A and B are shown apart, each in its own frame.
Chain A
Amino acid sequence: MKVEQISVFLENKAGRLAEVTRVLGEGGINIRALSLADTTDFGILRLIVNDNEKAKKILKENGFTVGKTNVVAIEVEDKPGGLARILDILYRAGINVEYMYAFVQQSGENAVIIFRFDNLDEAIKVLQENGVTVINGSKVYTL
């Protein structure tokens, strides 16, 4: 049920993000989803790609610091209130969302959103009990 996400440390200076996408592109890596969180002096780029191991290797070879985290991909009905319903379920269960971002591709009629939780297993359990579709990793990488 878990999806592996890689994250990259970036200094806040021009061209760094472009550099990451360039080296990954040249290595034949397909970026499925991406989000950048930044502060005034650094940024953290989070990526879902089609080949984690290869992407990590390429990034390290190019001198980037890379981390690996498990996240969850959730199908959200593509209509008003779809996301609110999910956040409400999490809120009621006392589960804290560290961050979230949207997937580029849809899964059929539905949008796909990546969630990062502190307590991943608990979150998955609560979501499934409430009938939310959690997409498994192998499917996400090929969406």
Chain B
Amino acid sequence: MIYNEEFETLPREALEAIQLRRLKNTLERVYHTVPFYKKHFDKHGVKPDDIRSLEDLHKLPFTTKQDLRDNYPFGLFAVPMDSVVRIHASSGTTGKPTVVGYTARDIKTWSELMARTLMAGGATKGDIIHNAYGYGLFTGGLGFHYGAETLGASVIPISGGNTKRQIMIMKDFGPTILTCTPSYALLLAEVAEEMGVDFRSLKFKSGIFGAEPWSEQMRQEIERKLNLDAVDIYGLSEVMGPGVAVECIEAKQGLHIFEDHFIAEIIDPDTGEPLPYGEKGELVFTTITKEAFPVIRYRTRDISALYKEPCRCGRTLVRMERVSGRTDDMLIIRGVNVFPSQIESVLMEMEEVSPHYQLIVDRVEHMDQLTVMVEVNEEIFSDTVKNLQQLENKIRKNIKDMLGISTIVKLVEPKTIERSEGKAKRVIDNRKI
């Protein structure tokens, strides 16, 4: 089923004509309203007028996470604050989050894209949507919520957590569509089993899962244990939030990018050169309809590939392959972006600690678990158990305060952390995904 038949099945030529027109408008607007873009374009000797075809996009400089950070919090907004009706944020590398804004029209656009997303994942007006994405600064919860309402479905805004209660509500309210992270889907399956609730007795038809990396094997496990069709969704707050791309339930082979709103490119992460269809590289997005927070050639650091072969669902939109990794060292822990440098800065801020550390990521009972190993040096060592336990608690609390995630802190002997060429290996990701 297709929510916006007209725009999702446009002939490529018509679609590309719309893209070019919208791109030109966006460039003109950011050049004149956002000082950063004017300076950035001028520095690279390019003016909005120089962009006469979609290929010309390559002449424009990239925008990076660092640029967003440098303009914290509202420096990249292209409209005055009185036109901004919503602010979201995601965690950044240095403690400061990445902040994005939406005008009323942006919210309307986003809501439509989420309605398209839900319908691509099998939802219709008559469905009850159990939305277990987190509500708050994170875009997941509210993105799905507005999409569900736009679609005309009934939404249960359950948010994350309190899993037993979620199962009870599933039994009593009979939701038909599940939206949450893939790892939470598996946790739901497990808790249901402990409670003696069989997912086959529930009414779910399909689920839309994302906000963290997962695999084809995980899809099969979710489909088997939850007795539903599972589709993958892609999005990031810098570009919009969820609803940038989604798999169709008909094919489940790659995620359709809503190209009437976003232009996607794949580049070589080292040289910045664009790569042809089918080749793996870094995903880059340009928004062409956003008002409050447009981004031009934003480097996502996500690794994917683009395919333009027609799809059996009828959509003419290009498809991106499931994201297979990152070009930086960012970890996604229970849907939260975590950079090792953030943990490092927490450790550095505690004056007595500047030790070697290592992050170990595991998936225990379907939930991500982050263990911070800290080598005990003479500065932090004490002869009493109490002092060392206080140190562990302090590290744990400071990380929780900064990143909002619970960790296990483990003190280890010096030289325990593996070093290669003198450099400690910072991250060991044991998750099988």
Contacts and interface: CB of A to CB of B under 8 A. Distances in A.
B376 A65 contact: yes
Nearest to B389: A39
Contacts of A69: 383
A66 B379 CA distance: 10
B382 interface: yes
A14 interface: no
A11 B416 contact: yes
Given A39-B389, A65-B377, A66-B378, A116 B413 contact: no
B200 interface: no
A63 interface: yes
A63 B384 contact: no
Interface in A1-34: 5, 7, 9-11, 16
A35 to B, nearest CB: 10
A10 B413 contact: yes
B390 to A, nearest CB: 12
A23 to B, nearest CB: 14
Label chain B's interface by main secondary structure.
loop
Contact of B378 (A44, A67, A116): A67
A69 B381 CA distance: 11
Nearest to B412: A11
A42 B412 CA distance: 8
Contact of A65 (B381, B389, B410): B381
**Range, interface on chain A:** 20 to 34
B9 to A, nearest CB: 58
Interface string B60-71: 000000000000
Nearest to A99: B384
A9 B413 CA distance: 7
B415 interface: yes
Contacts of B389: 39
Most chain-A CB neighbours within 10 Å: which of B383, B384, B411? B383
Contacts of B415: 63
Nearest to A9: B376
A98 interface: yes
Interface string B382-399: 111110110000000000
Nearest to A7: B383
B413 A98 contact: no
Interface in B235-287: none
Given A9-B376, A42-B388, A64 B413 contact: yes
24 contacts: A7-B383, A9-B381, A9-B413, A11-B411, A11-B412, A11-B416, A16-B413, A39-B385, A41-B410, A42-B388, A44-B382, A44-B383, A46-B383, A63-B414, A64-B413, A65-B376, A65-B378, A65-B381, A65-B414, A66-B378, A67-B383, A69-B383, A98-B384, A116-B384
Given A42-B412, A66-B378, 20 more contacts: A5-B383, A7-B383, A9-B376, A9-B411, A11-B412, A11-B413, A16-B413, A38-B385, A39-B385, A41-B411, A42-B376, A42-B411, A46-B383, A63-B415, A64-B413, A64-B414, A65-B376, A67-B378, A98-B386, A116-B384
Interface of B: 376-378, 381-386, 388-389, 410-416
Interface of A: 5, 7, 9-11, 16, 37-39, 41-42, 44, 46, 63-67, 69, 98-99, 116
